[in-house]
Structure 1
Amino acid sequence: MNAHLEQLSPRPLWRHFRTLCNTPRPSGHEATLVAKLQAWADARGLAHDRDAAGNLRIRKPATPGHEAAPGLVLQGHLDMVAQANADHPHDFTRDPLETYVEDGWLHARHTTLGADNGLGVAAALAVLEADDLVHGPLEGLFTLEEESSMGGALNLAEDWLGGRLLLNLDSEDRGQVYIGCAGGADVVVDAQLPTAVLAEDESALLLSVTGLVGGHSGIDIHKGRGNANRLLVRVLRALEALDARLVDYQGGTLRNALPREAFATLALPAVEVEAARERLMALEIELRDELAGADDELQLALTAVGTRPAEALTRDASRLLIAALHAAPCGVERMSVDVPGVVETSNNLGVVSLTEGRFHLCALVRSLRDSATADIADRLRALFELIGARTRVENAYPGWTPDPESPLLARFCALHRARLGVDPEIKVIHAGLECGILGAKYPDMEMISFGPLIRGAHSPDERVEIASVEEFWGVLCSLIEDLARPAS
C-alpha cells in the first residue's frame, strides 16, 4: 500500500512515512507502530528503551570525533488525528491510509493524512538511519497520545533523556520556527437530564449541520470557520419557539478538531413541522452569508427519522441545556497584546453528545496564559452547574514560554539564512506543542520547533506540500551537522 511514496524525495524520509501510513495509529492505538519501530531499531543496531508511560526512545552514538557535541533530541508524536468524511467508512484502528499526489501536494483519500506528526517522526527515523550524516549523540523521542490528551509528554519520565538540545518536528509552516506555544486543558461536562414520553401529536425529526471545513482547534480557530456544535445549537435555539424538544445529539468527534458536522433528533409538534422547515431555509441563507469566504458549503437539513423515539428531554431541560450551550464561550476569546497577530485564549466546543438524557461535553481551552485557561474552565464550570451538571478539568498542560535569546534559535536562523537566503519567521503558536510540557520536565533543555508546510490538519482536507518536505529535510540535516561542531 502507498508504494508511490517511495518515489518521492528524500526517499529515506518518505519510506518511513509509508510505514506510518500503512500502520493504523490513532491515539491510544500506537502499540503496533511501536513494535515495528523497535524491530527496525534492532535491525539497525540502535539501542532503544521505553519509559513507564510507553514513550519510545531510540539512541544513536555520535559520529566518531563528535562525541563532545551537545546531545540532540529529535522529538515527535506517533499518534494521529482520526477523522474521515461521514460518507467514507474507515476503521482507523485497522485500515491503512490511502494517499495520492495532486498538484504538488500529498493527500489521503477521504481521511486525515497523519502528516501531523508522521512527517516529523519519519524525518527523525531517517536521520537515525543515515550513515552519511555527521552528528553528535542523537536520541529519537517518540511520544504517545499527543492528539487525545498529551498523555505521553505529561507522563514522560524525568532524568531519562540525555540531550540538552531538542528539535520538535511538529510544526506546520514552511519558513517559520516556533519558540513558544499555548497551554491548555480539557473541560469535561456530564449530566443526567430528565426526559418525558413523546406526545401523540409530536413528530421526530433529524436536524443536521454538515459541509463545514473543520480544521485544527488551535491553528485554525481564528479563521472564521464554522463550529458545527455552535451552529446547531443556534438553530435549536431558533426552533424553541415552535416547542421543539431535544431527543439526542451528536456533534464533533475530537476535542482538538473544529467540528465539521453535528446532528440532533427533535420532538416537534406535527403542526409545526412545515414552519420549522421554512425557518431552517431562512437560517441556512443567514448563516451562509455570515460564513461567506471562510466556510461556503454549510448545509442545514431536517428529515424524518426511521424509528420513532420513546422519550425526549422535558421542555424545561431542553431549554436549559440549549441555553447553556448557546452561552458557552466558543472560538477566540482574546488576542495577544504581547505577541501581535496571535490568539491568546480560545475555547473549542469539540464534542457534544446526548443519549437517553445523558449529556456529555468535552471542550478544549487554550491560552498563552495558564491563568486564562483556568478562568475559562471555571466559567464553563459555573455555567453548567446552573443546569446541575458535573464538571471536571483534565489533561492540563503548561504553555511554552518563548526564549528569543536562545543560542539554538540563533544557530537555526543563521543556518536558514545561509541555506535558503532568507531569515525564518520566529513565531509563537496557538496550539499545544509538547515543548511546554517537556520544558517543565527538563528546564535546562533548549528547544525549537519547525516542520514542512501542512494544511488542513485534523480534518480530511489535511495535505502536505511535497516540495516543503525536501526543504525541511535539507534544513534539518544541515542543522544537525552544524550542531555537531563547536559554536563559532
Structure 2
Amino acid sequence: MNAHLEQLEPRLLWRHFRTLCNTPRPSGHEAALVAALEAWAEARGLAHDRDAYGNLRIRKAASPGCEAAPGVILQGHLDMVAQANADHPHDFTRDPIDTYVAEGWLHARHTTLGADNGLGVAAALAILEDESLVHGPLEALFTLEEESSMGGALNLAEGWLQGQLLLNLDSEDRGQVYVGCAGGADVVVEAQLPTSPLSEEERAYRLALTGLMGGHSGIDIHKGRGNANRLLMRVLRALAPCEVRLIDYQGGTLRNALPREAFATLALPEDEVVSAQARLEALAAELRAELKGVDEGLCLTLSPWGDEVEEALTPTASHLLVDALHAAPCGVERMSAELPGVVETSNNLGVVSLAAGRFHLCALVRSLRDSATRDLADRFRALFGLIGARTRVENAYPGWTPDPDSRLLARFCDLHRRRLGRDPEVKVIHAGLECGILGGKYPVLEMISFGPMIRGAHSPDERAELDSVEEFWGLLRALIEELAEG
C-alpha cells in the first residue's frame, strides 16, 4: 500500500515513510515497527540495541577520516496519534494509513497521517542509509510512547547515548528552529458518583456536539478553536432548568488532542423536551457565532436514545459534576511576558468519561515554568476535591530551557542563511518536545529541533507540505556533513 510515496522526492526518505504508514504504530503498539527496523538495520550491517524500556538505537560508524568529529544523535519518536473521523472505521493497531497527494500536500484519508513524527524518523533512517553522505559518528534514537505519556524519553537509559550533539526531528514549521519547549503533566481526576433510577416521567436522550476542527493541544491551543468537552459542559449548564441528569458521557480520545466531539446521554423529563430543544437551537447559534472564522463546523443535536437505561446520576451529583467541569481551567492560562506571542501556561480538557457513575478526566497541563504546571494541577485537585473526586498527577516532564549561545544553533543558522538566503526563526514551542527530558538525563548535550511543515497534527486534517520535506532533507543532510568537519 502507498506505493505512490516512493515516487516523491527525496525518494530515500519517502520509501522509509511508506514503511511507517504501512506498519501500524499507535502509542503502546510500536513493537512491530521496532522489529521491522531492527531487521532493516541487521540487513545493512548497522549496530542496534534497545534499552530496558524498549527505546531503539541504531548506530553507524563515521566516514573514513571523520572519526574525531562530534557524535550526532538523530532523534524522533516511533508512535503516532490515532485519530479518525467518527464515521470512518479504522483500526490503528491493524490497518495501514491510506495516503494521497493534493495540491502539494500529503494527506491521509479520514485519519491522522503520522507525519508527526514519521517524517523525522524516516529522515533519520534515510541518513543512515545514504552511502554518499560524509558524516561523523551517528546514532539514531527512536523513542516509544511520546504521544501518550513521554514514556520512552522519561525512562530512557542514562549513560547509554554516546553523541554530543542532538538533532530532534519533531518540529513542524518550515523556516524555523526550536531551542526550547514547555514542560507538562497529565492531571487525572476520578470519582464514583451516586446514581438513582429514572422516574416514570424521564426518558433517555442523546446529546451530541460534533464538527469541530480539533488539533494539537500545544501548538493550536491559542488559536481559539472549540474544545468539545468545554462547550458541551456549557450546553449542559444551559439545560439545567430542564432538570436533566447525566447518564453517561464520552468526550475526546487523547489528552494531547483538542477534543473534536463529545456525547452525553441524558435523563430528561418528557414535558421538558420541547423546552430543551429550543434552548439547544439558540445555544448552537450562539456558539457558532462565537466560533465564526475559527472553527465553523459545530453541530449540536438531541435525539431519543433507544438503548435501555435504568439509572442516572442523582440530581445533586449531576449538577456538581457539570459545574466543576464548566469551571475547570481550559485553554490558554497565561501568555509569556519574556517571549512575546508564546503561550506560557495552558490546559487541555482532553478526555472526559462517565459510565455507571464512574467519572474519569485526563487533562494535559503545559507550561514554560514547571512551578506553573504544578500550580495549575493543584487547582484541579482543589476544584474537584469539592465534589469528592481524587486527583493525581502523572507523567510529569520538564521544559527545555533555551540556550541562545549554543554553537550548534549558530552552525544551523549560518547553514540556513547560506542555503536558503534567509535566517531561520529561532523559536520556543508550547508543546512537549522530548528535548527537555533528554537534556535532564544527558546535560552535556547541545540540542536543536527542526523539521518540515506539518499542519493539523493530532487530527484527521494532518498534512505535510511536500516542498518543505525536500527542503528539510537538504538542510539535515548538509548540517551532518558540516558537523563532520568538526
TM-score interval w.r.t. the shorter chain? over 0.9
Partner of 1:431: helix, strand, or coil? coil
What secondary structure, in the 3-state scheme, does the structure 1 residue paired with 2:348 have? Answer: strand
Q: Secondary structure at 2:239's aligned position in 1?
A: helix
How many angstroms does 1:397 deviate by?
0.1
1:229-244 to structure 2, matched below 5 A, reads 229-244=229-244
> What does residue 150 of structure 1 align with?
150
Amino acid of the structure 1 residue aligned with 2:384: F
Question: What one-letter code is carried by the residue in structure 2 that aligns with 1:411?
Answer: R
- Which residue number in structure 1 is paired with residue 39 of structure 2? 39
Q: Which amino acid aligns with 1:427?
A: K
- The secondary structure found in structure 2 opposite 1:83 is coil
Which residues in structure 2 correspond to 1:178-217 (within 5 Å)? 178-217=178-217
Partner of 1:329: helix, strand, or coil? coil
Q: Which residue of 1 aligns with 2:15?
A: 15
Aligned partner letter, 1:372:
A
Q: Following TM superposition, by how much is the alpha carbon of 1:293 offset from its aligned partner in structure 2, in angstroms?
A: 0.8
For 1:443, the equivalent position in structure 2 comes to 443
- Say whether 1:73 aligns with 2:80: no
CA deviation vs aligned residue, 1:310-365 (integer Å, no higher than 9, x gap): 00000000000000000100000000011110000000000000000000000000
Give the aligned partner of residue 222 of structure 1.
Answer: 222
Letter aligned with residue 9 of structure 1: E
Partner of 2:421: 421
2:188 aligned counterpart, secondary structure = strand
Secondary structure of the 1:233 match is helix
- The amino acid across from 1:190 in the alignment is E
How many Å separate the matches in 2 of 1:64 and 1:275?
Answer: 79
- Counterpart for residue 365 of structure 1: 365
Counterpart-to-counterpart distance in 1, 2:243 and 2:276: 10
Shift of 1:190: 0.5
> What corresponds to 1:136 in structure 2?
136
Distance across 2 between alignment mates of 1:441 and 1:175: 29
CA positional deviation for 1:257: 0.1
Give the aligned length. Answer: 486
How big is the shift at 1:203? Answer: 1.3
Aligned letter for 2:150? M
Q: Give the superposition deviation at 1:59.
A: 0.1
Cα offset for 1:161? Answer: 0.2
Q: Distance in 2 between matches of 1:326 and 1:472?
A: 43
Runs of 4+ in 1 over 2 A off after TM superposition: none
Unaligned segments of structure 1, at least 5 residues? none
Cα separation, 1, equivalents of 2:67 and 2:354: 58
Determine the structure 1 residue equivalent to 2:472: 472
Which amino acid in structure 2 is aligned with residue 317 of structure 1? Answer: A
Where 1:167 maps in the other structure, the secondary structure is strand
SS of 1:48 mapped into structure 2: strand
Distance 1:92 1:308 in 2: 31
Matched with 2:481 is: 481
CA distance in 2, matches of 1:150, 1:265: 33
Q: Percent identity?
A: 80
Q: Which residue of 2 aligns with 1:311?
A: 311
Paired letter, 2:317: A
Distance 1:421 1:306 in 2: 63
SS at the partner of 1:472?
helix
1:156-171 matched pairs, under 5 angstroms: 156-171=156-171
* TM-score between the two structures when normalised by the length of structure 1: 0.99
Alignment TM-score, normalising by the size of structure 2: 1.00
Distance in 2 between the 1:287 and 1:124 partners? 44
Write out per-residue CA displacement over residues 154-182 of structure 1, whole angstroms, 9 at most, x where no aligned residue.
Answer: 00000000000000000000000000000
Deviations 1:224-280 (A, max 9, x none): 000000000000000011100000000000000000000000001100001101110
Q: How does 1:60-459 map onto structure 2 within 5 Å? A: 60-459=60-459
Query: In the aligned structure 2, how far is the partner of 1:467 from the partner of 1:280?
Result: 45
CA offset digits 1:29-72 (Å, max 9, x no partner): 00000000000000000000000010000000000000000000
Whole-angstrom CA distance in 1 between matches of 2:63 and 2:404: 30
List per-residue Cα deviations over 1:375-404 (Å, max 9, x = no partner). 000000110011011110000000000000
Tell me which amino acid in the other structure corresponds to 1:237. R
Deviation at 1:308, TM superposition (A): 3.1
- Paired with 1:233 and 1:94, the residues of 2 have a C-alpha distance of 34
Aligned counterparts of 1:142 and 1:113: Cα–Cα separation in 2:
19
Aligned mates of 2:130, 2:307 — CA distance in 1: 60
Distance 1:151 1:250 in 2: 25
* 2:112 alignment partner, SS class: coil
1:239 and 1:247 map into 2 onto residues whose CA distance is: 14
Cα deviation 1:431-467 (Å, max 9, x = unaligned): 0000000000000100000000000000000000001
Partner residue in 2 for 1:25: 25
How far did residue 307 of structure 1 move?
Answer: 1.4
1:464 counterpart SS class: strand
SS in structure 1 of the partner of residue 65 of structure 2: coil
> Alpha-carbon deviation of 1:409?
0.1
Give the counterpart letter for 1:157 in structure 2.
A
Give me the whole-angstrom Cα distance separating, in 1, the residues matched to 2:339 and 2:53.
34
Distance 1:142 1:23 in 2: 15
Q: Give CA-to-partner distance per residue, 1:113-166, whole Å, 9 cap, x none.
A: 000000000000000011000100000000000000000000000000000000
Partner-residue secondary structure (3-state), 1:303: strand
Matched residue SS, 1:393? strand
Tell me the SS of whatever aligns to 1:120: helix
Instruction: State the alpha-carbon separation in 1 of the partners of residues 297 and 326 from structure 2.
Output: 22
- Cα distance, 1:204 vs. partner? 0.7
C-alpha separation in 2, matches of 1:346 and 1:217:
9
* 1:423 aligned partner, one-letter code: D
Instruction: State how far apart, in whole Å, the 2-side matches of 1:353 and 1:398 are.
Output: 28
Whole-Å Cα distance in 2 between the matches of residues 422 and 116 of structure 1?
A: 26
Aligned to 2:113, the other structure's residue is in SS state coil
**Rounded Cα–Cα distance in structure 1 between residues aligned with 2:371 and 2:87:** 41
User: d(CA) in 1 for partners of 2:161 and 2:312?
Assistant: 54
Matched AA of 1:48: H
DSSP 3-state at the match of 1:34: helix
Counterparts of 2:128 and 2:308, CA distance in 1: 59
Give the distance between the partners of 2:210 and 2:294, measured in 1 at CA.
Answer: 15
Give the C-alpha shift of residue 306 in structure 1: 1.2
Q: Distance in 2 between matches of 1:307 and 1:97?
A: 34
Q: Distance in 2 between matches of 1:94 and 1:256?
A: 22
Cα deviations across residues 57-92 of structure 1 (Å, max 9, x unaligned)? 000000000000000000000000000000000000
